[in-house]
């Protein structure tokens, strides 16, 4: 018995994952010429520990010692039909 996909629009009829088109095309720069200046408190990460793509952002934030400059909120690791949610579960943050 096969399980129904949580987000079927992210899969082909054969079950292959189809990544959504990237909506972010800018770069953060120290001098701000990119239009996205590196300024403390300007950016905030919303992550799920269940998301492998989020792991990259968490690792880079830590390696570059940006914890004080870039805030982070952890959502419930289980997505429902509406997407990620703020829930009172272990390891998750409250809704900011």
Sign for the pseudo-dihedral over CA of 7, 9, 15, 20: negative
Q: What is the pLDDT of residue 6?
A: 54
Domain ranges of the chain: 40-96
- Tell whether pTM > 0.85: no
Distances 23 to 5, 19, 20, 66, 81 between C-alpha atoms, Å: 24, 12, 9, 23, 21
Considering the domain 40-96 in this protein, what is its CATH number?
3.40.30.10
- Most confidently modeled of 19-23, 31-35, 72-76? 72-76
Residues assigned a catalytic role: 51
Tokens of residue 16, six digits? 């292959």
- What is the per-residue pLDDT across 44-94, written as a single tens digit (0 to 9) for each? 999 999 888 899 999 999 998 889 889 999 998 888 777 788 888 888 887
């Amino acid at each position: 018995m096969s399980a129904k996909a949580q987000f079927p629009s992210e899969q082909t009829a054969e079950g292959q994952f189809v990544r959504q088109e990237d909506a972010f095309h800018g770069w953060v720069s120290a001098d701000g010429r990119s239009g996205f200046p590196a300024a403390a408190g300007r950016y905030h990460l919303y992550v799920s520990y269940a998301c492998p793509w989020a792991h990259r952002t968490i690792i880079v934030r830590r390696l570059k010692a940006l914890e004080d400059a870039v805030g982070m909120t952890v959502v419930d690791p289980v997505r429902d039909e509406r997407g990620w949610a703020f829930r009172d579960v272990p390891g998750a943050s409250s809704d900011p």
